[in-house]
Amino acid sequence: MAMKLYVGGLAYSVAEQELEAAFSTHGKVTSVAIIKDRDSGQSKGFGFVEMENDTEAKAAMAALNGQDLSGRKIMVNEARPQEDRRSGGDSYRKSY
């Protein structure tokens, strides 16, 4: 089963191809996404890598967490499920 990894601490100059190359040495990468600001297109310094199976993903996590990639130490963890953002901020409204 595929496992999605969170990769933080990325240099703004890191491209998806570079991230894929770093992780592919530990197994088959099925997808890579670097998160970018919607207005400027600038990297936000984090992204996600999905690997084909859990064993390869855990090996990549162990090998790459804390390692240098383009001059920055990256953080690699198992990605958490995405929060539902459709609520429209109702949780911040005050009831009277």
Structural domain count, the chain: 1
Q: Decide if 65 is inside a domain.
A: yes
Q: What is the Cα–Cα distance from 1 to 21, expressed in whole angstroms?
A: 21
CB atoms inside a 10 Å sphere around CB 30: 13
Mean pLDDT of the chain: 90
**pLDDT tens, position by position, 7-38:** 999 999 999 999 999 999 999 999 999 999 99
Say which residues have a Cβ less than 8 Å from residue 37's Cβ, sequence separation at least 6: 43, 44
List the one residue out of 48, 35, 34, 37 whose CA is nearest residue 80: 48
Q: Decide if 92 is inside a domain.
A: no
Q: How confident is the model at residue 89 (pLDDT cuts 50, 70, 90)?
A: low
- For residue 15, the domain's CATH number is 3.30.70.330
Residue 93's pLDDT is 57
Q: Decide if 85 is inside a domain.
A: no
Q: What is the Cα–Cα distance from 1 to 28, expressed in whole angstroms?
A: 12
For 24, the domain range is: 3-77
Residue 82's pLDDT is 77
